[in-house]
Structure 1
Amino acid sequence: MNETRRNGEEDMNHIQKKRWEMPDTYVILFLVLILGFIATYLVPSGAFDREMVDGVERVVPDTYQQTEGPALGLMDIFNSIQMGMVQSADIIFLVLFTGGMFEIIERSGALRGVINRAVTITRGNEFWLIAIVSTIFALAGAVGAVANAVIAFVAIGVIIARTLKLDPIIAVAITFGANFVGFSVGFMNPYTVGIAQDIAELPLLSGAGFRFIVFVIILSITIWYIWRYAKKIMADPSKSIIGVYEYSDDEENQLDTPFTIRHKLVLIFVALCLGYFVYASSQLGWTINNMAAFFLIIAIGAGIIAGMRYNTLALTFMEGTKKLVYGALVVGLARAVIVILEDGKTLDSIVYGLSIPLENLSPVFAAIGMFLSNGLLNFLVNSGSGQAMIAMPMLSPLADMIGVTRQVAVQAYQFGDGLTNLIFPTSGILMASLAVANVSWTKWVKWVFPLFLIWFVIAIVTLTVGVLIEWGPF
């Protein structure tokens, strides 16, 4: 009798544990979509006037007015999912083609060969490998050389983390995470600070010295945070939040496999292509569609150099895309939240509502308020340049009125745009990067949230100092 009761209690405990299982990323985003739908009934419809300046649409300050908005129905919720997929098709296919491209490169053995060589050289000093890779991606983000393109490089992080017997979180951290260290400060980023300073009528490189100091501080702390976790896993793999990569004896033996001429030719070809890709993205105005198409070229070229037959090349590419379908479609569902708010004519009203409280605050708290409001805005508009177009026309005159320099206003926008990309599931780049490494959003947030809080505190201190020293110009 006691045995039966004990078994029954164990069954009930097992059922209760299942009831409290963390919702899947798709479930979380669908709930956010429902909240967005409800907001279209609670938030008044409204719009700003917009004007075209040098071919770019900008919000005209002080032109917000309430308008008549449509009454959305149940079908609009599901239509927004379809439209979110359609509007995000460029990023979705970029993710899929990235998976196919790196599957071919990895199957060629070239990446494995060069990374094995690097691991062998740094064995016992893995900190330097993590620090160097993180610094490279941080600098790339700071100068605007890599933004959306970081998705393509997460696969390299996966190979590094796998070879070091770490977990997928490290793969995302040393690539995507490090990249957004630079993106959040961006002392020379033309797509964020460049556009924002142009709108605020500031010199392009003004404030770069102070931003560089903040960049070094945030990067140093981030590398320490990543290494602290990596070292913990190396000592005890069970400490991993998501589980370490399985690493067989055969893979261990591969550290001594030859790094052939063919491997080197594949890597030289890929390196030259990616170098041109970064140049074209920053100088030739390549879009995400150009990036995805170029990845097809890289995949085919690498496969040919590696000696793959045409059927093998095609099937290998498709195997790589299959691995990323789950994460690729997450990007479209995240976009659906924006679609429902735009359809309900409430997006501009939310932006306007975020700006009202700032007018009655002291300069320090107003600057922090700008940062917080831009962070919330980034949930809805997670394009750095797009958010600059919406926020800076309002923040610039607001900064003049409340006694905050426009340089501080630019940095408030930049922190708000950059930092929250670490955690917001509406960020297509975040969700795509997690998809490449096969990391769930919930596991990522569990790991990265303490680091996000550290960045958050540094941002507040930076803005406070900026107000107190009247960080200029203007």
Structure 2
Amino acid sequence: MSDYPQTTENNHKPTSSRFPTAYSILFALIILMAALTWIMPAGQYSKAMNEALGKESPVPGTYLTVDAQPQGLVDVMLAPIAGFYDPSSYVANAIDVSLFVLVIGGFLGVVNATGAVNTGIERAIVNLKGREKWIIPALMALFALGGTTYGMAEETLAFYPLLIPVMIAAGYDAVTGVAIIMLGAGIGVFGSTINPFSTAIASNAAGIPFTQGMVLRLVILGLSWLIAVLFVMRYAARVKEDPSRSVVADRKTLNEAYFLKRHDAARTESLTRQQSIILIVFGATFAVMIWGVSSQGWWMAKMSALFLGSSIVISFIGWLGEKKMTAAFVDGARDLLGVALVIGLARGIVVIMDNGMITHTILHYFEGKISGMSSVAYVNAMFGTEALLSFIVPSTSGLAVLSMPILAPLSDFAGVGRDLAVTAFQTSIGITNLIAPTYAVVVGGLAIGRVPYERWLVFVWPLLVLLIALSCATLSIAPLL
């Protein structure tokens, strides 16, 4: 889940953004929060054991001012380091989550080294030849599965050169190919269930197991997938019937010349028995994780051990050998090193706020703002707030650990379950990550598909309206049930 644009295939590079990286933004926020400790009054809530959470939480109405603890330059430099392990932090330590992220990256690196996922999708395309319209729901389901389980994002860039020629050859356009991949994986993130980079990290920061709220998220995932599939299929049918209705109609000749010359080069290997077994193990790993968390009390350490063990099993099945397996694991972990680092950096903000005694002051301010707000109004206000923040902090995990420690406790004051706060977070950022120009997956995918950013906005805005309506409706109904 890198925060930086990446070089894509065929030497095409995503459009560079003038916007700062998530690292710079988060470090600037550390400095800002340190400055606020010199200005804002320090304060503290009394805490009491919350039986539902199994930990202490602030008691509404008990806020008192205390002596100021202004944070200086040394504190600012120590904050990102302390964010990983500071036992005094209001948020749980980040080191266990960061290690889990690195192990997940290594696991995905080993799976990708076997070619099982790539070949599985290629075979699906070949088997549906002549019935290409069914590629849309089939592949959007597969990409959504990747998005909802492990936050599939940058991994999708490899599929654009493979899928877009197939869709153009079938009479559709490049936007259709881009939409299948970007919206498919994006819908999975929007309706995350066990995604470690969205639901798991946000739940961890909120102080709850990520299995809480699973039923609602499954409903959102199913409905949003259906809406997105119908949206893309309707657009694809219109383009096939009348190519002039394509949002990139003026680029049709150029796109066909560019992509179709590579169409015959698309790989069509058969899915081997080894790769079939690997895909079964891949899916079973996530199933075991759900079982372990929901019924055995597993958390980051045991989940990390599970994915490490699965990596070893998959490497044996795929006959990768010791050197190739370790290289693939290290390379995969390296790809997600930025995510692991941004977790500690973002939690450094909370360290500064806690040490400067302004965390509860901010909570107190918002407690006053929402004291007369209904639960329905609160979850919708949170949805809008997170959507705006995600444009500024384009890292899903970074925003989760930045906002959840503040907004999740406010849910207690509003009478809303923290799991609903997590759902509001993930749906809001799932929508903005479909269009944010600061997000590498968006600019990268559009660059490979040769789809101008403004044309993508023209195409996708009706779907965004539908997804926002779905989010607001489900978030509004849930507190009333």
Provide the rounded CA distance (Å) in 1 between the counterparts of 2:471 and 2:189.
17
Classify the secondary structure of the residue corresponding to 2:106. Answer: helix
1:338, distance to aligned residue in structure 2 (A): 2.1
Q: Identify the residue that residue 101 of structure 2 maps to in structure 1.
A: 95
CA contact (8 A) 1:83 1:336 kept: yes
Q: What code does the residue aligned with 2:26 have? A: L
Give the counterpart of 2:309 among 281, 287, 297.
Answer: 297
The change in CA–CA distance for 1:310 and 1:75 in structure 2 (over 3 A counts) is: same
Q: C-alpha separation between the residues in 1 aligned to 2:49 and 2:347?
A: 25
Residue 71 (structure 1) aligns with: 70
Q: Which residue of 2 aligns with 1:9?
A: none
Residue 281 (structure 1) aligned with residue 289 (structure 2) = no
1:319 aligns with 331
Q: Counterparts in 2 of 1:147-162, with a 5 A limit?
A: 150-151=150-151, 153-154=152-153, 157=156, 161=160
- Please point out which of 32, 37, 41 is paired with 2:38: 41
Match of 2:142 among 112, 133, 148: 133
| Alpha-carbon shift at residue 178 of structure 1 (Å) | 2.4
Q: 1:262–1:353: structure 2 CA closer, same or farther, 3 Å change rule?
A: same
Contact kept? 1:263, 1:306, Cα under 8 Å = yes
Shift of 1:63: 1.6
CA shift at 1:318, angstroms?
Answer: 1.6
Mapped pair 1:394 → 2:413: yes
Q: Say if 1:367 and 1:412, in contact at 8 Å, map to a contact too.
A: no
Matched residues in 1 for 2:432 and 2:56: separation?
25
Work out the percentage of aligned pairs sharing the same amino acid: 19
1:57 deviation in Å?
A: 2.5
Shift of 1:50: 1.9
SS at the partner of 2:67? coil
Rounded to whole Å, the distance in 2 between the matches of 1:19 and 1:269 is: 38
Aligned match of 2:126 in 120, 144, 152? 120
Contact 2:386 2:428 in 1 (8 A): no
Cα 1:305/1:37, change in 2 over 3 Å: same
Is 1:178 the equivalent of 2:185?
A: no
CA contact (8 A) 2:408 2:421 kept: no
Q: Which amino acid aligns with 1:103?
A: G
2:188 counterpart letter in structure 1: A
Between stretches 74-83 and 377-386, larger displacement belongs to 377-386
- Counterpart of 2:357 in structure 1 is 345
Instruction: Quote the offset at 1:220 in angstroms.
Output: 4.2
Separation of aligned partners in 2, 1:411 and 1:312: 40
CA distance in 1 between counterparts of 2:419 and 2:254 reads 37
Kept in 2: contact 1:45–1:349 (CA 8 A): yes
Q: 1:168 to 1:28 in 2, by over 3 A?
A: farther
- C-alpha displacement of 1:303: 0.8
Letter of the aligned partner of 1:417 in structure 2?
F
In structure 2, runs of 5+ residues without a counterpart are 1-14, 86-92, 165-173, 240-245, 390-397, 448-452
Residue in structure 2 matched with residue 12 of structure 1 by the alignment: none
Aligned to 2:8: none
Shift of residue 298 of structure 1? 1.3
Q: Which residue of 351, 371, 374 maps to 2:380?
A: 371
Q: C-alpha distance in 1, partners of 2:235/2:78?
A: 42
Q: Distance in 2 between matches of 1:410 and 1:157?
A: 31
How many Å apart are 1:70 and its aligned residue? 0.9
Aligned partner of 1:30 among 11, 27, 30: 27
What is the CA distance between 1:358 and its match in structure 2? 3.4
User: In structure 2, do the counterparts of structure 1 residues 381 and 270 end up closer, same or farther at CA, with 3 Å as the change threshold?
Assistant: closer
The one-letter amino acid paired with 1:422 is: G
Q: 1:81, CA displacement in angstroms? A: 1.3
TM-score if structure 1 supplies the norm length? Answer: 0.65
TM-superposed CA distance for 1:386, in Å, is 6.5
How far residue 350 of structure 1 moved from its aligned partner, in angstroms, is 1.4
Alignment-derived partner of residue 335 in structure 1 = 347
Change in CA separation of 1:456 and 1:309 when aligned onto 2, cut-off 3 Å = closer
Return the alpha-carbon distance in structure 1 between the equivalents of residues 341 and 260 of structure 2: 29
Provide the residue aligned with 1:422 in structure 2.
Answer: 430
1:419 counterpart letter in structure 2: T
Change (3 A) 1:229 1:275: farther
Contact 2:409–2:418 (CA<8 Å) still a contact in 1? no
| Closer/same/farther in 2, CA of residues 130 and 183 from structure 1, 3 Å limit | same
Q: Distance in 2 between matches of 1:351 and 1:178?
A: 32
SS at match of 1:78: helix
Q: Counterpart of 1:254 in structure 2: which amino acid? A: R
> Structure 1 residue 387: deviation in Å?
7.0
Change (3 A) 1:92 1:215: closer
Correspondences of 1:77-88 after superposition (within 5 Å): 77-86=76-85, 87-88=93-94
Q: CA RMSD, aligned part only?
A: 5.1
**Could you say if the C-alpha distance between residues 262 and 135 of structure 1 is closer, same or farther in structure 2, counting changes exceeding 3 Å?**
closer
